[in-house]
Amino acid sequence: MKKVTLIVVGAGGRGDAYANFVKASPEEAEIVAVCEPRKEWREKFAKKFGLSKEQCFNDWKDLLSKPKFADAVLICTVEDLHRDIAVALAEMKYHILLEKPMAPTEEECVDIYNAAKASDVKLAVCHVLRYTNWFTKLQALIDSGIIGNIYHIQATEYVGSWHFTHSFVRGNFRNDEVASPFLLAKCCHDIDLLNTLVPGKCKKVSSFGRVSHFSKENQPEGAADRCTECPVEIESQCPYSALKIYLRDSLGWLDSWPVNVLTVNTTPEGVAKALREGPYGRCVYACDNNVCDHQIVNLEFENGVTVGFVTTSFASGGRDYYVMGDRGTLRFAGESIVQHDFLTGNDTTHSITSGGNTILSGHGGGDSGIMKSFLNALKPGSDSEICTGPEASLESHLIVFAAERSRKNNNVESMMPIIKKV
């Protein structure tokens, strides 16, 4: 069977993650080109995946001047570029795997949706958690009726202090004037999962959240604006120190995420240089961040089901999903799903850690899961469905945008006119 041919647009962490699946499954697909403006990153990607200079492009717009030469593109750039790239390449009839979030605004998400539908191309949005063992198991248990009718879901994403400061204080997603709001950038995963678990349409949304801690007024007296210049007695006592996170705690895995986001030279000397000169060496209390460091979202669905979702940087990392029905409950909190039966009072543990696609692998196996789903859907004669296609993904994104309006305007947002209009 003919291999699926792919172009990777954006050779950063996410592009590399999806390309790794292709490298491990050469019988399934082949990478035929990469587009990446950063020379060092482009060359590193080309060397890793065996691409010639002719297969490397500095700008995604270079693709527009060439006849279509691959089956699909993997769009793994920052989201403010997603709309222009996705719309242009959909018009050229490329199928699209699009990193989440779809785009930073409601209007741009709708544009991508319309372009994919008008060109009749496959579009998969990378809500990778939908493809994990834990989520597919949780959804199957709910659908089986084992806990009766669902009335409430309480979900929490504990982003983790070091992860939050890496991505949302020092990193690319720190400021909603240059990137997406925190809820969209990080938690569109969770809103997508919750919207999927509840049958029917979301009716109302409310949200509260703010920046509480990572601001100049909380900087310790005498601290420097860069960790490499901070007095030892202050730096050594800071849990958010860049030296701690990227060097002292990372010496055994410098070539892995998140350290490999800082620089292509992931030696101790290269990382130290990046901390002296780049954004990831800044004091967390002296950055230009403005996104929430904790937030709550409440959802009400047409069928009366309610959902409460909390996300916070002030916790150790992980997700906790607690599904409450009229005959029992299901709770996922890391490595298993515990079912409690109201009739018998018994607890049953459903393991989700067996096999290769486990919660212990990258994104719980979601990265490889979405690639398998996407490639299967592109095979000739395939009737495979992409569960994170344009309709489902647009709907969950619209809920996120409504939540942000609610947070900023201090009101309850009605979803029904928005969903019906789209």
List b or e across 86-99, with b for residues whose CB sees 16 or more CB atoms inside 10 angstroms.
bbebbeeebbbbbb
Specify the pLDDT at position 361.
Answer: 46
Q: Which helix (H) or strand (E) holds 206?
A: strand 202-210
Specify the pLDDT at position 421.
Answer: 59
Nearest CA to 134 out of 305, 315, 366 is that of 366
- Could you read off the pLDDT of 14-61 as tens digits, one per residue? 999 999 999 999 999 999 999 999 999 999 999 999 999 999 999 999
CA-to-CA distance for 13 and 10, rounded, in angstroms?
9
- Pairing state between β 56-57 and 29-35: parallel
- Average pLDDT for residues 151-166, to the nearest whole number? 95
Q: Which of 126-140, 355-369, 375-389 has the lowest mean pLDDT?
A: 355-369
Say whether pLDDT at 350 is over 60: yes
CA-to-CA distance for 46 and 42, rounded, in angstroms?
6
Query: Is the Cβ–Cβ distance between 322 and 329 less than 8 Å?
Result: yes
Domain 4-121 fold is: Rossmann fold (3.40.50)
Specify the pLDDT at position 363.
Answer: 57
Q: Which of 254-258, 268-272, 278-282 has the lowest mean pLDDT?
A: 254-258
- Average pLDDT for residues 240-269, to the nearest whole number? 92
In angstroms, what is the C-alpha Rg of the chain? 22
Confidence of residue 175 (pLDDT cuts 50, 70, 90): very high
Query: Is the Cβ–Cβ distance between 373 and 357 less than 8 Å?
Result: no
- Could you read off the pLDDT of 161-170 as tens digits, one per residue? 999 999 999 9
Say whether pLDDT at 335 is over 90: no
- Average pLDDT for residues 139-161, to the nearest whole number? 96
- Could you read off the pLDDT of 80-129 as tens digits, one per residue? 999 999 999 999 999 999 999 999 999 999 999 999 999 999 999 999 99
Q: What percent of the chain is modeled with pLDDT above 70?
A: 95
Category of 274 on φ-ψ map: left (φ > 0), alpha (ψ -120 to 50) or beta: alpha
For the chain, domain boundaries: 4-121, 130-214+289-360+388-421, 216-281
Q: Do domains 4-121 and 130-214+289-360+388-421 have the same CATH topology?
A: no
Q: Long-range pairs for 300-304 at CB < 8 Å and ≥24 separation?
A: 300/202, 300/203, 300/204, 300/205, 301/198, 301/199, 301/200, 301/201, 301/202, 301/203, 302/200, 302/201, 302/202, 302/203, 303/198, 303/199, 303/200, 304/151
CA-to-CA separations, 36 to 116, 241, 308, 421, in angstroms, rounded: 23, 30, 39, 37
Specify the pLDDT at position 357.
Answer: 42
Nearest CA to 326 out of 93, 150, 115 is that of 150
pTM of the model: 0.90
Report CA dihedral (84, 87, 90, 91) to the nearest 10 degrees: -110
Q: Round the average pLDDT of the chain to a whole number and report it.
A: 92
The residues facing 5 across adjacent strands are 30
Specify the pLDDT at position 353.
Answer: 62
- Could you read off the pLDDT of 183-200 as tens digits, one per residue? 999 999 999 999 999 988
Say whether pLDDT at 253 is over 90: no
Q: Which CATH class is domain 130-214+289-360+388-421?
A: alpha beta
CA atoms within 13 A on the CB side of 351: 4
Residue 182 corresponds to which tokens in the numbers above? 């925190």
- Average pLDDT for residues 302-320, to the nearest whole number? 93
Query: Is the Cβ–Cβ distance between 371 and 388 less than 8 Å?
Result: no
Residue 225 corresponds to which tokens in the numbers above? 């604006």
CA-to-CA distance for 265 and 340, rounded, in angstroms?
50
Say whether pLDDT at 355 is over 70: no
